[in-house]
Structure 1
Amino acid sequence: MTAAADPVKLMKQEVGRAAANLIQSNSIVGLGTGSTTAYAIQFIGERLKSGEIKDIVGVPTSFQAEVLSKQYGIPLTTLDAIDHIDIAIDGADEVDPQKNLIKGGGAAHTREKVVDYLANQFIVVIDSGKLVDKLGSVFAVPVEVIPMAVTPVMNAIAKLGGKPELRMGVKKAGPVVTDQGNLVVDVKFDDIPDPVNLEKTLNNIPGVLENGIFVNCADKVLIGEVKDGKPVVQEM
């Protein structure tokens, strides 16, 4: 199968395009991380280049988003230079029926959380495989931890009933290091009955910078699916 005909890739492109089409001129845009959001960044760049929209400035949530934005000609700014974000586009690893999310498969959840919560409108782009009845069904909760605190944090998480595991690098010896220079502990919970409280509890452990549970922040969820070999995009 050629890459051009890959239905999953086409579907991710269509979800990215649907999100990029929500961007209006004169906007400050939060640019998320991950494969589907990468297509949104590409299409925002294309809309800018064609003159369909103008005066867009982006706030990247990761080194990946920064590199892609530069590649596609989207001017960037920092949170120091702005007082609001109009719209943010980002992916998720799990989405429950209340639009609560688990994010952080790409270890960028801390910066994503800062940007996505600031945005007046937060658009989540996913494929239907990311939909779950309850958070934590499939995906572990990523917790960003300062390096010196990894052992006490993992012990504290185990006391909460979680199964913590230090995320190790792929094609790299040793653990994954975030853009902030920290480590990621992936925590599997048998059940997350109350994501709102679990988010707070995890963040209150000394040494934890942030975790990948996002509650009460997603405004719109765009879901891509492949039906009869064709990409379909629906809104949750």
Structure 2
Amino acid sequence: MSYKVLVVEDDRPTRLLFEACLGSNGYEVRTAGDGQSALTLLARENFDVILLDVVLEDTDGFTLCETIRQSSQVPIIIVTAKNESENIVKGLGLGADDYIIKPFNTQELLARIAAVLRRSIFREEMSSKPVLQVGDVVMDFSGHRVIVKEQEVRLTPTEFKLLARLMANAGTVLSHSELLTAVWGAEYANDTHYLRVCIGRIRQKLNLAEDEPGYIRTVPTVGYMVVV
């Protein structure tokens, strides 16, 4: 199967580098030099993952990420410069699934794309599973939907997989490393900032009180659990 990648990057040499690297590894690549061109492509084509640079000609990657998330849960990897660590947390907080730092090497790029694709494919694999419910939180795997108090909540593939893992083990504390390995992959086992930011986004979207079933409770220094 050939996956389709949208590269949103204003620097032409970097765009060509992404295109050559991904194309030679079996990916179908489309490129856009600015935000509007990216939105035009997204309106007429389906993509499996987006590589989104922070700095663009007509907007910034954060604004574009927010715009995309209003209508799509396609995996997004933020591309940022080496000394801009604040961009990483901000991008993850806005719904990006991962990040890569320029300059990057081919193996790291391919590994991060493969990781977000694994999390996205998880939703398709779960399509034959039954509905999972804790309190007023319902996960409908066949429809890839999350319903909270009869209102649909949009989750990214990463958020969906993390919530599914927690709800399937409701009432049990899952450690940081266990969740990171299960959702992101073994290579992310120590990257707790991914988990912290993603949990915060899910809590905000579910909008539950701390004592309500389905709320994700922090167990200090250990991990997280879903309240039952």
Q: Same-fold call, TM > 0.5? A: no
Structure with bigger RCO (C-alpha 8 Å, 6+ apart): 1
From the two aligned structures, give the one with the greater strand fraction: 1
Q: What is the TM-score of this pair, normalised by structure 1?
A: 0.27
From the two aligned structures, give the one with the greater helix fraction: 2
